[in-house]
Amino acid sequence: MSDPKTIALVSIESVPDGMRPLGLVRGSTARSRNIARDITAGLKNLVGGEVTSYTKLMADAREEAIYRMQEDAARMGATMVVGVRFASSMVSQGVSEMVAWGTAVGPMDGQ
């Protein structure tokens, strides 16, 4: 398996010339908030502004989901993931899931 971090990620929908689709790849992570973040978020909600602790939480979750998707792609022998997409949802009170998915592609046979 190649290093997952070497897998290129692009949002284009088409498979580049000389490449072939290998299949769907995905990565996800679920993260929970903590009481201190909730208190800070509640105060920010009153006065407005960015809740930086939540922004960091979601950014970290997005990076983990990306890496897990790259691991999935590396297991398939891919060199690239096209059509990369993200979604987040609340799976239970205080727990959010971040999902990344796309199509793994690799070189045509013999290349």
In whole angstroms, what is the distance from residue 73 CA to residue 105 CA? 8
Helix residue spans in 48-95 (DSSP H): 52-75
Q: How many CB atoms lie within 10 A of CB 99?
A: 19
Q: Would you state the pLDDT for residue 110?
A: 57
CB 60 within 8 A of CB 96: no
Q: Angle CA(67)–CA(87)–CA(48) in degrees, nearest 5? A: 110
Placement of tokens 């290998």 in the chain: 22
Residue range 23-77, pLDDT digits in tens: 999 999 998 876 565 566 566 566 667 777 778 888 999 999 999 999 999 999 9
Where does the pLDDT of residue 90 fall: very low under 50, low under 70, confident under 90, or very high at 90 and above?
confident
Whole-model pTM: value is 0.83
**Domain residue spans in the chain?**
4-107
Query: Homologous superfamily of 4-107 in CATH?
Result: Hypothetical protein apc22750. Chain B (3.30.110.70)
In the 8-state DSSP scheme, what is residue 7?
S
